[in-house]
Amino acid sequence: MDAVGPARDLEDYLAHLGVERGLSPHTLAAYRRDLSRYAAYLGALGRARLSDVRPADVDAYVEALRTGSDGGSALSASSASRAVVAVRGWHRFAMLEGIAPSDPAVDVRPPSTTKRLPKAIAVEDVERLLVAASAGDGPGPLRDRALLELLYGTGARITEATSLAVDDIDLDDDAGSVRLFGKGRRERVVPLGRFARDAVDAYLVRARPVLAQAGTGTPALFLGMRGRPLSRQSAWAILQSAARRADLEEHVSPHTLRHSYATHLLAGGADVRVVQELLGHASVTTTQLYTLVTAQTLREVYAAAHPRARG
C-alpha cells in the first residue's frame, strides 16, 4: 500500500490515541493489529486514500472479519465487534481532521454479541483464596496476600495494582485509601478496608524491605524476588498459584476478583453509581452488568429455596 495513503493516516491516528487520549501501549497494540488488517483490505480493493472508501467497502469488511474472506482469521462476534469499533474511530478521526470529506463507517454497526455476565466467586471462596496466598514463610507470601487483598478490597485492575507506587497508598487508621490510575490515566481514590490495610502494612514493614535489597531502588509498591517492580504476568502467576492451593474449581483471574468486588458490593446494598465510581467505569451502563448478576443470583436462590417456585 502507498505509504503516503492510509498507512500514513494510520500512524497519525495511533499517535492521536496514544498522546491525546492516553491509551495504554497494550490497547494501542490491539488498535494497530485491527487497523493494519483493515488498511491491507483497503489496499487490496485499490483504495489508496481514506477519502476513497465507500460505505459498501466497510460493510464488506465487516463480513470479511466474520468469514475470513480477506485472507485473515475469521473472528468471533466479540473480536469482530472490537475491530469494527476501531475502524469507526479511524474514519471519524479522518473526517474531523479533514483527511476525508465524510465518514463512510458512520452507519456501520458492530456485530451483535451475546451479553456475557461477569463471573464472581463466593465470599467464602475469596477467603479461601486469600488464606492460600499467605501460606508459607518469607517475604513472598506476605506480598502475595497483600496483592490479592488489595485487588479484592479495591476492585483494581491488575495493571492498576502493579503500577502502584508506595506513595499511592494511605494506611491511615481511620480512612485508608489507594490512588489508582485507570484507562486513559484517569485517577480515582478508592477506600482501603481494614483487611487490605493490615495486609499491605505487614508487607511494607516485613517483606518489601527484604525484596528491595536485591534491586537498585524503585518506588513501586509490589516487588518481585529480584527487587524489580512486579510484572502483570507475575501477578497473574501469584493468583493462579493461590487458586490451585485453595482448590478453586472455577477459572480465577484478576478480573474475577474485580467482578467479585463489584458483585458483593451490590449484593450488600451499594448504589450502582457508587460502584461505578469505585470501579472507574466511564459509563454506568458497564457497571449495570453487575446488577444483572445479582438479580440472577436472587432468582437462583429463590428457585432452589421457595416451596412454590417450581411446579
Catalytic residue among 31, 38, 41, 290: 290
H helices of the chain, in order, are 6-19, 25-45, 55-67, 77-96, 123-133, 139-154, 158-162, 194-206, 208-212, 232-245, 254-267, 272-279, 284-305
Long-range contacts of range 77-82, CB-CB < 8 Å, 24 or more positions apart? Answer: 77/111, 77/112, 77/113, 77/114, 78/113, 80/110, 80/111, 81/110, 81/111, 81/112, 81/113, 82/30, 82/34, 82/110
CA 282-287-291 angle, 5° bins? 165
Does residue 255 sit in helix, strand or coil? helix
Q: Would you say the C-alpha torsion 209, 211, 217, 222 has a positive or negative sign? A: negative
Looking at residue 70, the DSSP 8-state letter turns out to be T
Catalytic residue among 91, 197, 259, 281: 281
Integer Cα distance of 194 and 180 in angstroms: 18
Catalytic residue among 143, 157, 197, 208: 157
* Other Cβ atoms closer than 10 A to 133: 26
Catalytic residue among 145, 258, 259, 264: 258
Catalytic residue among 194, 206, 255, 299: 255
Catalytic residue among 66, 92, 183, 232: 183
The answer to whether residue 258 is catalytic is yes
Q: What are residue 169's DSSP bridge partners?
A: 178
The answer to whether residue 255 is catalytic is yes
Integer Cα distance of 141 and 274 in angstroms: 32
Please enumerate in sequence order all residues whose Cβ is within 8 A of that of 227, keeping only pairs 6 or more positions apart, or say none: 211, 212, 213, 214, 215, 216, 218
The answer to whether residue 281 is catalytic is yes
Integer Cα distance of 164 and 151 in angstroms: 12
Does residue 181 sit in helix, strand or coil? strand
Residue positions annotated with a catalytic role:
157, 183, 255, 258, 281, 290
